Protein backbone atom coordinates (compact mmCIF):
# COMPACT_ATOMS: atom_id res chain seq x y z
CA UNK A 1 0.00 0.00 0.00
CA UNK A 2 1.32 3.43 -0.85
CA UNK A 3 1.22 6.68 1.10
CA UNK A 4 -1.88 8.81 0.87
CA UNK A 5 -1.78 12.31 -0.66
CA UNK A 6 -0.15 15.03 1.42
CA UNK A 7 -2.29 17.40 3.45
CA UNK A 8 -5.02 14.77 3.97
CA UNK A 9 -6.36 14.24 7.47
CA UNK A 10 -3.86 12.26 9.57
CA UNK A 11 -4.73 8.93 11.10
CA UNK A 12 -3.23 6.80 13.83
CA UNK A 13 0.03 7.88 15.49
CA UNK A 14 2.68 10.37 14.34
CA UNK A 15 5.80 8.27 13.71
CA UNK A 16 8.36 10.82 12.49
CA UNK A 17 8.56 14.53 11.71
CA UNK A 18 10.59 15.91 8.81
CA UNK A 19 11.55 19.41 7.76
CA UNK A 20 11.46 18.46 4.08
CA UNK A 21 8.67 16.74 2.21
CA UNK A 22 11.24 14.77 0.14
CA UNK A 23 12.60 13.14 3.31
CA UNK A 24 9.11 12.15 4.45
CA UNK A 25 8.27 10.71 1.04
CA UNK A 26 11.55 8.75 0.96
CA UNK A 27 10.74 7.06 4.29
CA UNK A 28 7.20 6.56 3.10
CA UNK A 29 8.48 4.57 0.13
CA UNK A 30 10.44 2.35 2.52
CA UNK A 31 7.25 1.64 4.45
CA UNK A 32 5.29 1.05 1.24
CA UNK A 33 7.84 -1.54 0.13
CA UNK A 34 7.19 -3.33 3.42
CA UNK A 35 3.43 -3.27 2.90
CA UNK A 36 2.70 -0.73 5.63
CA UNK A 37 -0.18 1.74 5.16
CA UNK A 38 0.73 5.31 6.13
CA UNK A 39 -0.08 8.94 5.48
CA UNK A 40 1.96 12.11 5.12
CA UNK A 41 0.42 15.34 6.36
CA UNK A 42 1.64 18.81 7.16
CA UNK A 43 1.68 20.02 10.76
CA UNK A 44 2.92 23.58 10.99
CA UNK A 45 6.42 23.73 9.50
CA UNK A 46 6.89 19.93 9.60
CA UNK A 47 5.82 17.02 7.45
CA UNK A 48 4.56 14.17 9.61
CA UNK A 49 4.50 10.44 8.85
CA UNK A 50 1.38 8.84 10.35
CA UNK A 51 0.71 5.13 10.89
CA UNK A 52 -1.75 2.86 12.63
CA UNK A 53 -0.64 2.12 16.23
CA UNK A 54 -0.22 -1.62 15.62
CA UNK A 55 2.22 -0.94 12.74
CA UNK A 56 4.57 1.29 14.74
CA UNK A 57 7.04 -1.41 15.97
CA UNK A 58 7.51 -2.90 12.54
CA UNK A 59 7.80 0.54 10.92
CA UNK A 60 10.50 1.59 13.37
CA UNK A 61 12.47 -1.58 12.59
CA UNK A 62 12.24 -0.99 8.83
CA UNK A 63 13.28 2.66 9.09
CA UNK A 64 16.16 1.84 11.44
CA UNK A 65 17.52 -0.70 8.94
CA UNK A 66 17.13 1.85 6.15
CA UNK A 67 19.00 4.54 8.11
CA UNK A 68 21.86 2.10 8.75
CA UNK A 69 22.09 1.35 5.02
CA UNK A 70 22.22 5.07 4.26
CA UNK A 71 25.00 5.59 6.78
CA UNK A 72 27.00 2.69 5.36
CA UNK A 73 26.51 3.97 1.81
CA UNK A 74 27.80 7.41 2.80
CA UNK A 75 30.99 5.91 4.24
CA UNK A 76 31.64 3.41 1.44
CA UNK A 77 32.79 5.89 -1.26
CA UNK A 78 35.33 7.39 1.14
CA UNK A 79 36.78 3.98 1.94
CA UNK A 80 36.95 3.01 -1.74
CA UNK A 81 38.45 6.34 -2.77
CA UNK A 82 41.42 5.87 -0.46
CA UNK A 83 42.64 2.28 -0.95
CA UNK A 84 45.71 1.17 0.90
CA UNK A 85 48.75 0.66 -1.24
CA UNK A 86 49.47 -3.02 -1.87
CA UNK A 87 53.07 -4.24 -1.78
CA UNK A 88 54.11 -7.40 -3.58
CA UNK A 89 57.65 -7.93 -2.31
CA UNK A 90 56.68 -11.29 -0.75
CA UNK A 91 55.80 -12.78 -4.17
CA UNK A 92 59.40 -13.12 -5.44
CA UNK A 93 60.46 -14.24 -1.95
CA UNK A 94 57.99 -17.13 -2.02
CA UNK A 95 59.11 -17.96 -5.56
CA UNK A 96 62.73 -18.20 -4.33
CA UNK A 97 61.64 -20.48 -1.47
CA UNK A 98 59.87 -22.87 -3.84
CA UNK A 99 62.80 -22.90 -6.25
CA UNK A 100 65.13 -23.50 -3.29
CA UNK A 101 63.13 -26.54 -2.23
CA UNK A 102 63.25 -27.82 -5.81
CA UNK A 103 67.06 -27.57 -5.71
CA UNK A 104 67.18 -29.35 -2.34
CA UNK A 105 64.99 -32.11 -3.75
CA UNK A 106 67.31 -32.49 -6.75
CA UNK A 107 70.33 -32.70 -4.45
CA UNK A 108 68.67 -34.99 -1.90
CA UNK A 109 67.38 -37.47 -4.45
CA UNK A 110 64.92 -40.22 -3.71
CA UNK A 111 65.62 -40.19 0.04
CA UNK A 112 64.52 -36.55 0.30
CA UNK A 113 61.41 -37.27 -1.73
CA UNK A 114 60.42 -40.30 0.36
CA UNK A 115 60.94 -38.38 3.58
CA UNK A 116 58.43 -35.66 2.64
CA UNK A 117 55.92 -37.17 0.19
CA UNK A 118 52.28 -37.36 1.28
CA UNK A 119 51.39 -40.91 2.30
CA UNK A 120 47.91 -41.76 3.52
CA UNK A 121 49.24 -44.69 5.57
CA UNK A 122 51.98 -42.59 7.19
CA UNK A 123 49.76 -39.55 7.84
CA UNK A 124 46.59 -41.24 9.10
CA UNK A 125 47.95 -44.56 10.30
CA UNK A 126 51.37 -43.36 11.51
CA UNK A 127 50.50 -39.85 12.70
CA UNK A 128 53.16 -38.20 10.51
CA UNK A 129 51.18 -34.96 10.10
CA UNK A 130 54.18 -33.03 8.84
CA UNK A 131 53.92 -34.78 5.47
CA UNK A 132 50.82 -32.69 4.73
CA UNK A 133 53.21 -29.71 4.69
CA UNK A 134 56.43 -31.15 3.31
CA UNK A 135 54.61 -32.65 0.31
CA UNK A 136 53.70 -29.10 -0.76
CA UNK A 137 57.38 -28.33 -1.38
CA UNK A 138 58.09 -31.42 -3.52
CA UNK A 139 57.48 -31.75 -7.27
CA UNK A 140 57.69 -34.42 -9.94
CA UNK A 141 59.71 -32.45 -12.49
CA UNK A 142 60.57 -28.93 -13.68
CA UNK A 143 57.28 -28.33 -15.60
CA UNK A 144 55.44 -29.33 -12.43
CA UNK A 145 57.34 -26.67 -10.47
CA UNK A 146 56.79 -24.00 -13.11
CA UNK A 147 53.05 -24.68 -13.41
CA UNK A 148 52.53 -24.44 -9.66
CA UNK A 149 54.72 -21.34 -9.46
CA UNK A 150 52.80 -19.21 -11.92
CA UNK A 151 49.33 -20.21 -10.70
CA UNK A 152 50.21 -20.13 -7.00
CA UNK A 153 51.96 -16.77 -7.19
CA UNK A 154 49.08 -15.29 -9.17
CA UNK A 155 46.41 -16.40 -6.70
CA UNK A 156 48.65 -15.45 -3.79
CA UNK A 157 49.24 -11.95 -5.16
CA UNK A 158 45.48 -11.45 -5.47
CA UNK A 159 45.09 -12.23 -1.77
CA UNK A 160 47.65 -9.70 -0.58
CA UNK A 161 45.31 -6.69 -0.69
CA UNK A 162 42.81 -8.35 1.67
CA UNK A 163 45.04 -10.60 3.79
CA UNK A 164 48.42 -8.87 3.83
CA UNK A 165 51.95 -10.07 3.10
CA UNK A 166 52.28 -12.62 5.91
CA UNK A 167 48.75 -13.79 6.56
CA UNK A 168 48.08 -14.55 2.88
CA UNK A 169 50.92 -17.08 2.64
CA UNK A 170 50.17 -18.55 6.07
CA UNK A 171 46.55 -19.21 5.02
CA UNK A 172 47.68 -20.65 1.67
CA UNK A 173 50.02 -23.01 3.52
CA UNK A 174 47.23 -23.92 5.97
CA UNK A 175 44.70 -24.61 3.20
CA UNK A 176 47.21 -26.77 1.35
CA UNK A 177 48.09 -28.77 4.46
CA UNK A 178 44.43 -29.20 5.38
CA UNK A 179 43.62 -30.26 1.82
CA UNK A 180 46.39 -32.88 1.96
CA UNK A 181 45.15 -34.11 5.33
CA UNK A 182 41.62 -34.54 3.96
CA UNK A 183 42.98 -36.34 0.90
CA UNK A 184 44.97 -38.77 3.06
CA UNK A 185 41.97 -39.40 5.30
CA UNK A 186 39.68 -40.13 2.34
CA UNK A 187 42.09 -42.65 0.82
CA UNK A 188 43.05 -44.40 4.09
CA UNK A 189 43.49 -47.36 4.65
CA UNK A 190 44.43 -47.59 0.99
CA UNK A 191 47.93 -46.25 0.40
CA UNK A 192 47.98 -43.03 -1.59
CA UNK A 193 51.10 -40.98 -2.30
CA UNK A 194 51.19 -37.50 -3.80
CA UNK A 195 53.36 -34.40 -3.90
CA UNK A 196 53.28 -30.85 -5.24
CA UNK A 197 52.16 -27.37 -4.26
CA UNK A 198 48.99 -27.64 -6.34
CA UNK A 199 46.87 -28.46 -3.29
CA UNK A 200 47.94 -25.11 -1.83
CA UNK A 201 47.43 -23.42 -5.22
CA UNK A 202 43.78 -24.48 -5.25
CA UNK A 203 43.61 -23.70 -1.56
CA UNK A 204 44.53 -20.12 -2.53
CA UNK A 205 41.71 -20.15 -5.08
CA UNK A 206 39.32 -21.32 -2.36
CA UNK A 207 40.60 -18.53 -0.10
CA UNK A 208 39.80 -15.94 -2.78
CA UNK A 209 36.26 -17.26 -3.21
CA UNK A 210 35.75 -17.61 0.55
CA UNK A 211 36.97 -14.05 1.10
CA UNK A 212 34.52 -12.72 -1.51
CA UNK A 213 31.60 -14.68 -0.02
CA UNK A 214 32.54 -13.65 3.52
CA UNK A 215 32.52 -9.99 2.56
CA UNK A 216 29.20 -10.44 0.81
CA UNK A 217 27.67 -12.00 3.94
CA UNK A 218 28.58 -8.88 5.90
CA UNK A 219 26.81 -6.50 3.52
CA UNK A 220 23.45 -5.17 4.65
CA UNK A 221 22.18 -4.44 1.17
CA UNK A 222 22.83 -5.23 -2.49
CA UNK A 223 23.22 -8.98 -1.97
CA UNK A 224 21.55 -10.14 -5.15
CA UNK A 225 21.78 -13.78 -6.20
CA UNK A 226 24.15 -12.80 -9.00
CA UNK A 227 26.72 -11.54 -6.50
CA UNK A 228 26.71 -15.00 -4.87
CA UNK A 229 26.95 -16.89 -8.14
CA UNK A 230 29.76 -14.82 -9.63
CA UNK A 231 32.66 -15.62 -7.21
CA UNK A 232 31.57 -19.18 -6.52
CA UNK A 233 30.94 -19.92 -10.20
CA UNK A 234 34.26 -18.39 -11.23
CA UNK A 235 36.10 -20.40 -8.57
CA UNK A 236 34.48 -23.69 -9.53
CA UNK A 237 35.12 -22.99 -13.23
CA UNK A 238 38.82 -22.34 -12.59
CA UNK A 239 39.00 -25.44 -10.39
CA UNK A 240 37.50 -27.53 -13.20
CA UNK A 241 39.67 -25.94 -15.89
CA UNK A 242 43.01 -25.95 -14.08
CA UNK A 243 42.50 -28.77 -11.59
CA UNK A 244 41.49 -31.59 -13.91
CA UNK A 245 44.94 -31.75 -15.49
CA UNK A 246 43.54 -32.50 -18.95
CA UNK A 247 42.86 -36.09 -17.91
CA UNK A 248 46.47 -36.89 -17.01
CA UNK A 249 46.72 -39.91 -14.76
CA UNK A 250 49.42 -38.37 -12.53
CA UNK A 251 47.26 -35.38 -11.55
CA UNK A 252 45.77 -35.68 -8.07
CA UNK A 253 42.34 -34.18 -8.81
CA UNK A 254 40.99 -35.11 -5.37
CA UNK A 255 43.80 -33.19 -3.65
CA UNK A 256 42.98 -30.14 -5.82
CA UNK A 257 39.33 -30.38 -4.80
CA UNK A 258 40.08 -30.72 -1.10
CA UNK A 259 42.52 -27.81 -1.23
CA UNK A 260 39.79 -25.63 -2.73
CA UNK A 261 37.23 -26.84 -0.18
CA UNK A 262 39.64 -26.18 2.69
CA UNK A 263 40.29 -22.65 1.48
CA UNK A 264 36.61 -21.63 1.41
CA UNK A 265 35.92 -21.46 5.18
CA UNK A 266 39.41 -20.14 5.91
CA UNK A 267 38.91 -17.29 3.44
CA UNK A 268 35.46 -16.48 4.84
CA UNK A 269 36.86 -16.55 8.37
CA UNK A 270 39.60 -14.06 7.50
CA UNK A 271 37.00 -11.83 5.80
CA UNK A 272 34.96 -11.74 9.02
CA UNK A 273 38.08 -11.16 11.16
CA UNK A 274 39.03 -8.16 8.99
CA UNK A 275 42.80 -8.24 9.59
CA UNK A 276 44.84 -5.13 8.84
CA UNK A 277 46.90 -5.90 5.71
CA UNK A 278 49.49 -3.25 6.64
CA UNK A 279 49.82 -4.18 10.31
CA UNK A 280 53.54 -4.98 10.51
CA UNK A 281 53.27 -6.94 13.76
CA UNK A 282 50.42 -9.13 12.55
CA UNK A 283 51.86 -9.72 9.09
CA UNK A 284 55.35 -10.31 10.44
CA UNK A 285 54.09 -12.83 12.99
CA UNK A 286 52.02 -14.62 10.34
CA UNK A 287 54.93 -14.74 7.89
CA UNK A 288 57.33 -16.04 10.54
CA UNK A 289 54.68 -18.54 11.59
CA UNK A 290 54.43 -19.89 8.04
CA UNK A 291 58.21 -20.19 7.76
CA UNK A 292 58.48 -21.72 11.22
CA UNK A 293 55.85 -24.42 10.71
CA UNK A 294 57.39 -25.38 7.38
CA UNK A 295 60.86 -25.58 8.95
CA UNK A 296 59.47 -27.68 11.81
CA UNK A 297 57.76 -30.02 9.35
CA UNK A 298 60.96 -30.62 7.42
CA UNK A 299 62.92 -31.00 10.66
CA UNK A 300 60.59 -33.82 11.70
CA UNK A 301 60.70 -35.31 8.19
CA UNK A 302 64.50 -35.38 8.25
CA UNK A 303 64.64 -36.93 11.71
CA UNK A 304 62.18 -39.67 10.76
CA UNK A 305 62.96 -40.31 7.12
CA UNK A 306 66.53 -39.24 6.41
CA UNK A 307 69.75 -40.59 7.80
Residue 52 is predicted with a pLDDT of 84
pTM, to two decimals: 0.71
Residue 4 is predicted with a pLDDT of 47
* Averaged pLDDT, 138-150: 89
In the predicted structure, residue 237 carries a pLDDT above the cut 60: yes
Q: Tell which wins on pLDDT, 158 or 69.
A: 158
* Averaged pLDDT, 151-163: 92
Residue 243 is predicted with a pLDDT of 63
Residue 283 is predicted with a pLDDT of 94
CATH T-level topology, domain 3-81: Alpha-Beta Plaits (3.30.70)
Dihedrals phi, psi of 49, to nearest 5 degrees: -100, 120
Residues of the chain with CATH 1.20.1540.10: 90-305
Taking a C-beta distance cutoff of 8 angstroms, is the pair 240, 186 a contact? no
Q: Using 50, 70 and 90 to split pLDDT, how confident is the model at 228?
A: low
Residue 80 is predicted with a pLDDT of 45
Distances from the Cα of 272 to the Cα of 159, 276, 278, angstroms: 15, 12, 17
Q: Tell which wins on pLDDT, 44 or 307.
A: 44
Nearest-angstrom CA–CA distance, 89 and 94? 9
In the predicted structure, residue 284 carries a pLDDT above the cut 90: yes
* Averaged pLDDT, 166-177: 96
**In this predicted model, what pLDDT tens digit does every residue of 113-136 receive, in sequence order?**
999 999 999 999 999 999 999 999
* Averaged pLDDT, 76-103: 76
| Mean pLDDT score across all residues of the chain | 84
Nearest-angstrom CA–CA distance, 54 and 61? 13
Number of other CB atoms surrounding residue 116 within 10 Å: 28
Nearest partner of 39 among 66, 65, 64, 14, judged by Cα: 14
Question: Could you write out the DSSP letters of every residue in 155-205?
Answer: HHHHHHHHH-HHHHHHHHHHHHHHHHHHHHHHHTTS--EE--THHHHHHHH
Domain made up of 90-305: CATH architecture: Up-down Bundle (1.20)
In the predicted structure, residue 5 carries a pLDDT above the cut 70: no
Q: Tell which wins on pLDDT, 29 or 268.
A: 268
Residue 216 is predicted with a pLDDT of 82
**In this predicted model, what pLDDT tens digit does every residue of 179-198 receive, in sequence order?**
999 999 999 999 999 999 99
Q: Using 50, 70 and 90 to split pLDDT, how confident is the model at 2?
A: very low
CA 132 to the chain's CA centroid: 22
Residues of the chain with CATH 3.30.70: 3-81
Distances from the Cα of 17 to the Cα of 40, 43, 118, angstroms: 10, 9, 69
Nearest-angstrom CA–CA distance, 40 and 148? 64
CB burial of 159-173 (b: ≥16 within 10 Å; e: otherwise) equals bbbbbbbbbbbbbbb
Taking a C-beta distance cutoff of 8 angstroms, is the pair 258, 199 a contact? yes
Q: Tell which wins on pLDDT, 137 or 56.
A: 137
Q: At what angle do helices 165-187 and 253-273 cross, to 10 degrees?
A: 140
**In this predicted model, what pLDDT tens digit does every residue of 20-42 receive, in sequence order?**
888 888 888 888 877 888 888 88
- The dihedral through the CA atoms of 255, 169, 299, 128 has a sign that is negative
Amino acid sequence: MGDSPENTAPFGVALRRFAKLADARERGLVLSASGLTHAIARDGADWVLWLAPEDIPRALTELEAYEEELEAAEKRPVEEALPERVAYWSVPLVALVLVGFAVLQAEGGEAWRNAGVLSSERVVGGGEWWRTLTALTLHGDVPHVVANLWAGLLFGALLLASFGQGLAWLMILASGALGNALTAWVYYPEEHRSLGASTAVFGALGLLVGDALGRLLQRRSGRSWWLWVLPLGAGVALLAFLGAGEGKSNVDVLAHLWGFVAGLPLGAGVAFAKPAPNNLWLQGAAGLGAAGILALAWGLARSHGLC
